[in-house]
Structure 1
Amino acid sequence: MTSTKIVLAGGPERLFADGHVRRPENPNEKVKILLGSGYEHFVHNGEFLTIEGENLPVFQWSERTKIAE
C-alpha cells in the first residue's frame, strides 16, 4: 500500500468529527485509533475510493478493544 492517506468506513460517529480521510502513522493492512477508553480497529479489504483525484484505500471498522488498566 503506497498511500499516506486512508478513508475510514464504519465505527462510531464521534470518530468522524474531522472527516473520514486520515493520515495514519502506519497504514498497513490494519489501523487502530485511540478513542476514549479504547481503540477502534480498521482493516483494508482491497477496496479503494477516488477522492479529489487520489485513489485512497478504504479501511472498514472491524472491532473495538478496551485499554488494559
Structure 2
Amino acid sequence: MSVTSRRLLVFLSGGPSDIPEIHEVESEVIEDRLKIPRGNGYEHFEFTRGFKDVGDVLMPVYRWSYRTAIAE
C-alpha cells in the first residue's frame, strides 16, 4: 500500500517579508485558516475567498491575520 501526500499551492498576502508569497501546504482542500511555523511561533493566515492566477495556476489567496508563540 502506498500513501501519497497531497499538496496545495496557496498565495500569501501580508505578513513577514521573509515568508514567500507562494507557499505549499499539505492539504487537498482549501482550509479557512492556515498556521505557518516561523521561528519560535506561527503566522496565521485566513482565506480571503479570492483566487490569484500565477503562471496559469489558480491559487487561493490567504491574508495574514496574526502571530502566536509556540507554547512550552
TM range (shorter): 0.7 to 0.9
State percent identity of aligned pairs. Answer: 36
Q: Which runs of 5+ in 2 are unaligned?
A: 1-6
Quick one: which amino acid aligns to residue 11 of structure 2?
V
> Which structure shows the bigger proportion of residues in helix conformation?
1
Task: Establish whether residue 24 from structure 1 lines up as the match of residue 25 from structure 2.
Answer: yes
Q: 1:5 aligns with which of 3, 6, 9?
A: 9
Tell me the TM-score normalized by structure 1.
0.83
Residue type of the partner of 1:40?
Answer: E
Q: How does 1:28-67 map to 2 (within 5 A)?
A: 28-67=31-70
Runs of at least 4 residues of structure 1 off by over 6 A?
A: none
Give the unaligned 5+ runs of structure 1.
Answer: none
| Aligned pairs, number | 64
